[in-house]
């Protein structure tokens, strides 16, 4: 795959087809998380950084997404929280494995696990960064400047 639009459609399709993911969001910033209601388990991606490179005569650009898998479980139940966290990590691993199977040039950095406890429920999360590399054209192509 060679462009961001195709990657977005690919990952969105994965989330829509995965039996453990109920919804997928692409948000503009982390502040948009507060304004959302979630149908747990939710996968959220937020574009966060990009790099354009020609290192070693290999023209690529990278795009990093801040991602989070969010789930909800019964409050005051340690085992339910552990199971939910384990499932969140399983989903992150499946995303990575599936993207590699699709020949995507990507990697996932460290996964940060957090739990938020309230009287009604526990919210479990797995935060991570997903970086994808996309090929660019050779620098000798025409420049679009009329």
The domain that contains 35 carries what CATH number? 3.30.70.1700
> Count of CB atoms within 10 A of residue 89's CB?
16
Domain that holds residue 12: 4-135
Placement of tokens 């829509």 in the chain: 16
143 inside domain: no
Q: Which tokens in the block code for residue 53?
A: 């490179």
- Tens digit of each residue's pLDDT (9 = 90 or more) over 74-118: 988 899 999 999 999 999 999 999 999 999 989 998 999 999 887
| Mean pLDDT, all residues of the chain | 88
The residue count of the chain comes to 146
Name which of 121, 128, 65, 44 is nearest 93 in CA terms.
128
Q: How many domains does the chain have?
A: 1
75 inside domain: yes
- Confidence bin at 1 (pLDDT 50/70/90): very low
Which pLDDT value is given to residue 137? 64
141 inside domain: no
């Amino acid at each position: 795959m060679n462009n961001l639009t195709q990657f977005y459609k690919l990952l969105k399709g994965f989330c829509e087809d995965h039996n453990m993911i109920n919804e997928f969001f692409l948000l503009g910033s982390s502040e948009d998380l507060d304004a959302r209601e979630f149908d747990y388990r939710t996968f959220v991606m937020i574009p966060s950084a990009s790099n354009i490179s020609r290192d070693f005569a290999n023209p690529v650009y990278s795009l990093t997404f801040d991602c989070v898998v969010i789930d909800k479980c019964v409050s005051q139940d340690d085992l339910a929280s552990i199971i939910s966290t384990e499932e969140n990590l399983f989903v992150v691993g499946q995303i990575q494995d599936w993207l590699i199977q699709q020949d995507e040039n990507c990697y996932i950095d460290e996964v940060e696990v957090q739990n938020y406890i309230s009287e009604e429920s526990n919210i479990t999360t797995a935060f991570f960064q997903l970086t994808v590399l996309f090929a660019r054209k050779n620098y000798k192509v025409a420049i679009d400047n009329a």
